[in-house]
Amino acid sequence: MFHTYLIKYGEIGIKGNNRHVFEDALAKQVRLKLAQISGDFEIRKERGRIYVECSGDWDEEETVSALSCVFGIVGICPVHTYELAGIDELRRDIVAYVAEEHPGSKESFKVKARRVNKEYPLDSMQIDAQLGEAILEAYPQMHVDVHHPEILFDLEIRDRVYMYSKVLPGPGGMPVGSNGSAMLCLSGGIDSPVAGWMTAKRGVKIDAVYFHAPPYTSERAKQKVVDLARAISKYTGPIRLHVVNFTDIQLAIYDTCPHEELTVIMRRYMMRIAEHFAEKDGDLGIVTGESIGQVASQTMQSLLVTNAAVRLPVYRPLVCFDKSEIVDVAKRIETYETSILPYEDCCTIFVARHPVTKPLLEVIERSEAKLKGKIEELLEKAIYTTETFTVKPE
Amino acid sequence: MREIYFDNSSTTRPSEAVLETVIRTMTEDYGNPSSLHSKGVDAERCLREARKKIAATLKAGEKEIIFTSGGTESNNMAILGAALAGRRRGRRILCTSMEHPAVSEVCKFLQKEGFETEQIPVDSRGRLDLAALEEMLSGDVIAVSTMYVNNEIGAVVPVQEAAELIHAKAPGAIYHVDAIQAYGKYRIYPKQLGIDLLSASGHKLHGPKGSGFLYVSKDVRIVPILYGGGQQDGMRSGTENVPGACGLGVAAEEAYRNFDEKISHLYRLKEALEEGLARLEDVVLHSPSGREGAPHIVNASFLGVGSEVLLHALEDRGIFISAGSACSTHKRSASPTLTAIAAPKDEVTSSVRFSFCESNTLDEVTTTLAALEELLPALRRYGPLRRS
């Protein structure tokens, strides 16, 4: 039985002088994540690796599934530890290890020991040879392949002996919080939660803003967005969610501007409000789930016009994704089922029959100019009445 | 803000007497009616009283009442039970084209299992086509199921005439009536009307949720669908939901107390709302007017305003109604009744239902009409662009 996990991380390992910043961020995220599940966990940073020691009422499946939500982890290795002893004991240990972790195996293998503790009497090569021989003696149906082994036995000789041969995949990416924060425009659809998840994967902390339009959108539509935020918070950590009442702004646009421009103008105001909250929350960018050409408001021309409404950079992680690719990710991160619940969101309420697909910035700005004098007050009111709360993983 | 609850066909608020009974049966008479000791005997007595109360409202025998978990179970038990009991005699089962899913889905299931289920048509006002029914009836029909009152538009099925036709042209066929919206609103005497099975639900008449019953005439035999400890004469195994059944008993008794007075009051509310709606523009009524339809249901389409939008706009003012159909831009199944009566699409997407109970007041109707008058122009202004 094992009770230790070795956490492998990829990109962080190659960082230069600020490497410890990323490692600390990862250790922190691992700690926060494991605090949500039952069991006692000790997280140790040691010579460029992170170990998780598990004790108390912990469950293997639950622990692995929690760790596999922590960005920055590329591999989770269940590690068996043994007392540091002579080579004969070590030979017995590895035979027992194979019996437990690879019973009945006929696969090829290789032993790769690292002697960190230089006082150990045998060097790495000698340990490899000894242990390989022990396995072959005990399990003659297995064979050695040093180039492409099916099983790689990793050993580290430290104050204890660490042995592992399995690497469970982690989500990759970088630890959340190691790369600033951004404001996610979260709708009830399939795309935006995926965009948030992808951005967080690059180490970005996520805040979010949702626009609702009562009575045109229901409480359930809002609850759906909270549920989506909760679903991705499993990966991103707690999300500050701003719920903006957008009805009056929408109606004003409807009353004043050409109807085929409604969606584009509406999105520009959404971006402005998102930027307001981004700046307030100290975010360095805005994230949307837009993808080129998906709908009229996401053509290159429309994106240009929407983009021009704000100064902050707008990150669009899905910009070149096909819908089916987005759906695949949404299913994997378990937001899809919630996203397809049939409640109106405010983008689907006021849709012109033939919206512009190639808006011109000057034309849109001219239409928007007609809102001057009344829109300022509505924006202020929307911001003032915004409901802000933190959504945490369940 | 005062709350105006006009969604009584969805569910009702339990009455004080029902609450008291439920609490008493959960705190004092909590025994298992099958237990031999006095706790069990007490619970059994409570259950029996409830059964008596319900039987009295139907002029039925105590043994003819089987407690269930509600309307859906009653309907399932009736139709599946009748189908299983009659399967050696024939395979045809009839129901109307405007049934609640708790009936139509059971028929769909039976269709897959090798039965032939057919729909009796209704006209544009939800009136059953009796001539068509007569035509469809023959000796190989084993069961017929109709509603008494339609849940969406309050159309009333002439159950007595239907029963006469059924028993004359398909002797041996079992006639089931889904009376979930009718029980407590009509005096229903199954024996006199020729009804063999009758479903009712507790929470539609101020009883507890999770309670209901199926009346099974002693002259017909249906096959049980739940097996186990053999409770309720083996018709419905499972420890009886004593609080639910007793609450339902009280609710049933209350529903038929001062009955005529209450029904007149409901019709007054209905007529007041109908009159008010008639003064508004672009409103289409789907519910049969006045006494032609059920006393408690008014269904109307406010053209150009999505059902759900109007629902939330009224909700904002503390008025709770029901959306006849779901939102337009996403797929959700359209209303079965409005589809059956062939209502045009713009009427389907804008239909809402108001449903009353006896504690609603004329004042509430007036307030609702005033709210509608105020809201509709604004909501319509933003209506036409909606995707259809």
What domains are defined for chain A?
Answer: 4-169 (3.30.2130.30), 181-391 (3.40.50.620)
Q: What is the pLDDT of residue B381?
A: 78
Q: What is the DSSP string of B288-329?
A: PPGGGS-TTEEEEEETTS-HHHHHHHHHTTTEE-EESS--SS
Closest Cβ opposite residue A344 in set B329, B331, B382 = B329
Based on its alpha-carbon atoms, the radius of gyration of chain B, rounded to whole angstroms, reads 21
User: Contact B251/B103 with Cβ under 8 angstroms?
Assistant: no
Structure tokens at B356: 């009353």
> In this predicted model, which residue has the larger pLDDT, B223 or A342?
B223
**Rounded distance between C-alpha atoms, residue B198 and residue B183, angstroms:** 9
- Tokens representing B31 are 């025994």
Amino acid identity for residue B111 in this structure = Q
Amino acid making up residue B71: G
Nearest to A215 among B309, B330, B331 (CB): B309
Of B279, B317, B323, residue with least CA distance to B301: B323
List, in sequence order, every residue forming a beta bridge with B183; answer none if it has no partner: B186
Looking only at the bridges linking them, the beta strands covering B92-96 and B283-285 are unpaired
- Token look-up 């795309």 returns A191
Using pLDDT thresholds of 50, 70 and 90, give the confidence band for residue B388: very low
Contacts of B61 (CB under 8 A, 6+ apart): B55, B218
CA distance A262 to chain B (A): 11
pLDDT at B382 over 80: no
Contacts of A214 in chain B (CB under 8 A): 312, 316
In order of A91, A130, A132, B225, B287, the CA distances from A137 in angstroms are 10, 11, 9, 63, 86
Q: What are phi and psi of B180, to 5 degrees?
A: -60, -35
Alpha-carbon distance of A241 to B56, in angstroms, equals 57
A51 has a chain B CB within 8 A of its CB: no
CA distance B229 to chain A (A): 39
Residue A161 CA, chain-centre distance (Å), reads 33
What's the confidence (pLDDT) of residue B336? 86
Closest-CA residue of A relative to B333 is A342
Residue numbers in B near A218 (CB within 8 A): 308, 312
d(CA B12, CA A311): 54
Task: Assess contact for A200 and A236: CB atoms under 8 A.
Answer: yes
pLDDT average, residue stretch B24-30: 96
Asked whether the beta carbons of residue A350 and residue B385 sit closer than 8 angstroms, the reply is yes
Closest CA to A313 of A365, A278, A266, A364: A278
Distance separating alpha carbons of residues B5 and B360, to the nearest angstrom: 8
SS3 A331: helix
Quote the minimal CA–CA distance from A207 to chain B in Å. Answer: 28
First to last CA, chain B: 34
- Mean pLDDT, each 10-residue run in order, chain A (394 residues): 84 72 90 93 85 91 94 93 91 94 94 91 93 95 94 91 92 92 94 97 96 86 94 95 95 91 94 97 96 89 95 97 96 92 65 84 95 94 96 90
Q: Are A29 and A200 in contact (CB under 8 A)?
A: no
Are the beta carbons of B308 and A342 separated by less than 8 Å? no
- DSSP state letter for B335: P
- B331 residue type, one letter: K
- Residues on chain B touching A245 (C-beta within 8 angstroms): none
From residue B327, how far is each of A170, B330, B331 by CA, in Å?
A: 40, 6, 8
- CB pair distance less than 8 Å for B387 and A348: yes
Burial degree of A18 (CB within 10 A; 0-12, 13-18, 19+): exposed
Chain B nearest-CA distance from A218, in A, is 7
**Is residue B234 pLDDT above 50, yes or no?**
yes
Which residues of chain A does B309 touch, with a Cβ-Cβ cutoff of 8 Å? 215-216
Average of per-residue pLDDT across B301-314: 91
Contact criterion met (CB < 8 Å) for B382 and A344:
no
DSSP secondary structure, A48-113, as one string: TEEEEEEESS--HHHHHHHHTTSTTEEEEEEEEEEE---HHHHHHHHHHHHHHHSTT---EEEEEE
Half-sphere exposure of B128 (CA within 13 A, CB side): 30
Residue with tokens 């700005």: A365
Supply the pLDDT for residue A216: 84
Cα(B355)–Cα(B8) distance, integer angstroms: 5
* Rounded-to-integer distance, Cα A70 and Cα A21, Å: 16
Mean pLDDT of chain B: 94
Flag whether pLDDT at B377 surpasses 50.
Answer: yes
Could you tell me which of B201, B237, B197 has the C-alpha nearest to residue B217?
B197
pLDDT score of B329 more than 50 = no
Instruction: Identify all chain B residues contacting A353, using CB atoms and an 8 Å cutoff.
Output: 385, 387
Spell out the residues 6+ positions from residue A129 whose beta carbon is closer than 8 angstroms to its own: none
Smallest CA-to-CA distance from A90 within A118, A122, A64, A58 is with A122
Who among A342, A348, A350 is closest to B332 (CB)? A342
Which amino acid, residue A131? L
Contact B152, B299 (CB under 8 A): yes
CB within 8 Å: A343 and B386: no
Distance CA A172, CA A200 (A): 11
**How much is the pTM?**
0.83
Run of H or E residues at B67: strand B65-68
Q: Is B327 a catalytic residue?
A: yes
Q: What pLDDT shows up at residue A201? A: 96
Q: Give the C-alpha separation, A148 to A151, whole Å.
A: 9
- Kindly identify which residue of chain B lies nearest to residue A189, measuring between CA atoms: B330
AA identity, residue A187: S
Query: CB A348 to CB B332 under 8 A?
Result: no
Residue in chain A lying closest to B378 (CA) = A251
Q: Give the best residue of A220, A259, A344 to mutate against chain B (max B CB count within 10 A).
A: A344
**Residue pointed to by tokens 């909590």:** B30
The answer to whether A262 contacts chain B (CB < 8 Å) is yes
Is B382 within 8 Å of A251 when comparing Cβ atoms? yes
Looking at residue A349, its pLDDT comes to: 61
Per-residue DSSP letters for A167-195? Answer: -EE---SB-TTSS-EEEEE--SSSHHHHH
pLDDT band of residue B250 (cuts 50, 70, 90) is very high
Residue A212, H or E segment: strand A205-212
3-class DSSP state of A139? coil
Q: Which of B107, B246, B327, B357 is catalytic?
A: B327
For residue B309, give the chain A residue with the closest CA.
A216
pLDDT of B152 > 60? The answer is yes
Dist CA B207 CA B370 (whole Å):
31
Q: Which of B308, B379, B382 sits opposite A218 (nearest CB)?
A: B308
- Search chain A and give the residue with CA nearest B312: A215
Q: Considering only alpha carbons, which residue of chain A is nearest residue B387?
A: A351
> Which residues of A are less than 8 Å from B387 in CB distance?
348, 351, 353
- What's the rounded Cα separation, in Å, for the pair B233 and B52? 16
8 Å CB contact of B330 and A342: yes
CA distance B385 to A384: 29
* Conformational region of residue B154, where left means phi above 0, alpha means psi within -120 to 50, and beta covers everything else: left
Verify whether the Cβ–Cβ distance A344 to B313 is below 8 Å: no
Of residues B40 and B336, more confidence is placed in B40
The span from the CA of A355 to the CA of A333, in Å, is 32
Choose from B314, B320, B327 for mutation: most chain A CBs within 10 A. B327
DSSP B334: P
Which ipTM score applies to this complex? Answer: 0.73
- Spatial distance between the Cα atoms of B23 and A165, rounded to a whole number of angstroms: 61
